[in-house]
Amino acid sequence: MSDTIKDVTRLFGSNVFSEAVMRERLPKNVFKVFKQVLAGETELDRSVADVIANAMKDWAIEKGATHFCHWFQPMTGSTAEKHDAFISPTSDGRTIMEFSGKELTQGEPDASSFPSGGLRATFEARGYTAWDCTSAVFVKEDGKNITLYIPSAFCSYTGEALDKKTPLLRSMDALNKQVIRVLRACGNTTSKTASATLGAEQEYFLIDKKFYEKRLDLMLTGRTLFGAASPRGQELDDHYFGTLQERVASFMHELNTELWRLGVSAKTQHNEVAPAQYELAPVFATVNIGTDANQLVMETMQKVALRHGLVCLLHEKPFAGVNGSGKHNNWSITTDDGINLLDPGMTPHDNMIFLIMLCSVIKAVDKYAKLLRASVANVGNEHRLGANEAPPAIVSIFLGDQLTDILEQLVSGAAKSSKQGGQLKLGVSTLPPLPKDSTDRNRTSPFAFTGNKFEFRMVGSTQSTSGPMFVLNTIVAEILCEVADELEKASDVKKAAEKILTKIAKEHKRILFNGDNYTDEWVKEAEKRGLPNIRSTVESLETIMDAENVALFKKHKILSKQELHARTDILLEVYSTVIGIEAKTALSMIKRQIMPVVANYSGRLAQAVQAISSTIVSAEAQTAMLEEVCELIGALSKKAVDIEAALAKADGMDDTKKLARCCRDDLVPAVAAAREVVDKLETVVDADLWPLPTYAEMLFIK
């Protein structure tokens, strides 16, 4: 697999039916029409689609493809695909290879087995997939199977969104509309469209496959349900940016190669903070393409890891006590003529459009903080948000010195100046003076301004970026809509803008925080400022249906009330299902792996006590060991009974909300209490007997 790459520029995108390939392979007039479709200027008609499909098929077959599939993102959070061969049997017993425009643009998967949150009864099986022509078609190789992938949206027979892509695409339209209104009002006549951009940094763990296979918890839940802390964790700070270990480096090389072929611009790679933790960041792209790319990144990581005898863990918290994994969503807005609207320039204080965009984001994040929080609420992230290493569950914005200063100026009127960075001299004649940024970085903020974009850091590592991104696009569109309403009717736009900026700065400065978000002082301070601090996933998901959110999504045509309700139900159901699986897995491990081993060990100790007691030597130490182990065994068997009782209680519940609360209030604490005992046992039981690979082994054996 891993042959040396001679020319990355030729390899890159070689499996993508890109614009360049289209230009080469499509008749000129068809290519022109397709470009108009991309720009939203016209619709794709069947005859054009037929020509494109045919060219695609020929290209894919040259690449060895035998099948095509609509590749979509149901509410499970991962991707789905159903492959069809290009074959079309002929009457003389042979076959030709065919692919029509209809097959390209529309699929009809049975929708009954995907979560719909009650939008569709099981007997109403029909669903549709529709080609998202803005995200390029590609060929993917899995083992010997080669298939043409068509990125698609997925909806029900009656047109409701059943996937993650549709609301994202709708939110892009909404944002585009409002940004252009604001730009026009401010005198920009040249930009035609504006798109949100996304660069998603993906964190992950790699552990040796042989350990993974011995851990039922990792196999079934993606995280360790038990495991005493390793005597050494991440205290030495030696893993972050450390030298890449050889097997890991080879993995990364192969991962990059695969991703580059698929046109995913994997750019940055490094060791992360926790031992065995790593990160990959691509070059940013339009947000729907960035979201598709991130799905490919997650999938390819898992696939390539196995080839190296490794398993890639994407869970938000595979190991207690060391850092969990996030997915920092770097987000900005860029126009078709290349203006990054969040680029402050050298003198941000007199960059009106930038200040409007900045303040609109600030207001949106403050006003819809709970919704933003809910967009990252999932079971895994609960272990991360609010724990001492990840952004807390309190949403706040880091702006840095320069912009904070400008916001302060705005509070009392127009901004008049911008602090500058200057130069940094290192005191060594051979080292060059470095231009210094106007602002330091902040690693603890959940929503940080980082130079010319915002970085939303609360997103969990397993999550599709679609949810948080369509929420962010929509809330910003909403505030920009308010701003545009004001500016469009103003006789003096500059004055009107200044007034708006001052109002936002005054009313929403409470969301700004440049300090250490991990401290208890911040929790207290945030409470004083009235900022919500919603720690539990269930509580957070329950805020989604608040009236203002329903109205917001309806106004911008992102989701109907029914669609939003369905989504909320699905998220709550997933929460309960995962907690149920965790509890059952924990119980199985306790009863079938841990109890038998510790019972055996206590028997051995008892024999030792007996044998030694018959000599003249004291068995005091052995007796103490026996007592401790027996006490823990007794405690554990009680905890197992508690888990069983909580499972039985949950089993009898059908109401989605009640079940989720029961999982949170009964099951989660029951499993956590059992873990405490198991982890103590691990530290006192013979290492040769212990049935599970330890944290030290999993995190440090490379």
Q: Which residues bind Mg ion (CB under 5 A)?
A: 201
Q: Which residue has 């920092």 as its token pair?
A: 328
Q: Which residue is nearest to ligand ADP (CB)?
A: 199
Backbone angles phi, psi at 516, to 5 degrees: -85, 110
Q: How far is the CB of 284 from Mg ion (least distance, A)?
A: 12
Which of 175/566 has CB closer to ligand ADP? 175
Partner from ligand ADP, Mg ion, none contacting 582, C-beta within 5 to 8 A by type: none
Which of 200/685 has CB closer to ligand ADP? 200
Q: How far is the CB of 269 from Mg ion (least distance, A)?
A: 10
Q: How far is the CB of 279 from ligand ADP (least distance, A)?
A: 7
Which of 213/336 has CB closer to ligand ADP? 336
Q: How far is the CB of 454 from ligand ADP (least distance, A)?
A: 9
Torsion of CA 460, 155, 81, 222, to 10 degrees: 20
Q: Which residue has 């611009």 as its token pair?
A: 265
Backbone angles phi, psi at 207, to 5 degrees: -130, 160
Q: How far is the CB of 288 from ligand ADP (least distance, A)?
A: 13
Q: How far is the CB of 441 from ligand ADP (least distance, A)?
A: 8
Angle between helices 352-367 and 493-508 (to 10 degrees): 30
Partner from Mg ion, ligand ADP, none contacting 198, C-beta within 5 to 8 A by type: ligand ADP
Q: Please give the structure tokens belonging to residue 615.
A: 């000599």
Which of 66/340 has CB closer to ligand ADP? 340
For the stretch 230-252, what's the b/e string if a residue is b when 16 or more beta carbons lie within 10 angstroms of its beta carbon? beebbeeeebeeeebeeebeebb
Q: How far is the CB of 201 from ligand ADP (least distance, A)?
A: 5
Partner from Mg ion, ligand ADP, none contacting 453, C-beta within 5 to 8 A by type: ligand ADP
Which of 136/264 has CB closer to ligand ADP? 264
Partner from ligand ADP, Mg ion, none contacting 18, C-beta within 5 to 8 A by type: none
Q: How far is the CB of 465 from ligand ADP (least distance, A)?
A: 11
Which of 105/330 has CB closer to ligand ADP? 330
Three-state secondary-structure class, residue 87: strand
Angle between helices 287-307 and 246-261 (to 10 degrees): 140
Q: How far is the CB of 467 from ligand ADP (least distance, A)?
A: 17
Backbone angles phi, psi at 227, to 5 degrees: 140, 115
Q: How far is the CB of 149 from ligand ADP (least distance, A)?
A: 23
Q: Which residue has 């947000």 as its token pair?
A: 287
Partner from ligand ADP, Mg ion, none contacting 282, C-beta within 5 to 8 A by type: ligand ADP
Which of 282/348 has CB closer to ligand ADP? 282
**410 near 505, Cβ under 8 Å?**
yes
Three-state secondary-structure class, residue 216: helix
Torsion of CA 148, 153, 154, 159, to 10 degrees: -140
Largest CA distance in the chain: 103
Partner from Mg ion, ligand ADP, none contacting 331, C-beta within 5 to 8 A by type: ligand ADP
Q: How far is the CB of 200 from ligand ADP (least distance, A)?
A: 7
Kindly tell me the sign of the dihedral angle through the C-alpha atoms of 286, 292, 298, 301. Answer: negative
Name the β-bridge partners of 397.
Answer: 447, 512
**568 near 544, Cβ under 8 Å?**
yes
List the one residue out of 562, 523, 564 whose CA is nearest residue 542.
Answer: 564
Which of 76/340 has CB closer to ligand ADP? 340
Q: If you count them, how many residues does the chain have?
A: 702
Residue type, 68: F
Which of 193/452 has CB closer to ligand ADP? 452
Q: How far apart are CA 352 and CA 344, in angstroms?
A: 10
DSSP code per residue over 300-320: HHHHHHHHTTEEEE--S-SST
Which of 201/405 has CB closer to Mg ion? 201
* DSSP annotation of 44: P
Q: Please give the structure tokens belonging to residue 260.
A: 């580059």
Which of 241/527 has CB closer to Mg ion? 241
Q: Which residue is nearest to Mg ion (CB)?
A: 201
Q: How far apart are CA 634 and CA 220, in angstroms?
A: 27
Partner from ligand ADP, Mg ion, none contacting 340, C-beta within 5 to 8 A by type: ligand ADP
Note the residues at the interface with ligand ADP (CB under 6 A). Answer: 197-199, 201, 268, 281-284, 330-332, 340, 452-453, 455
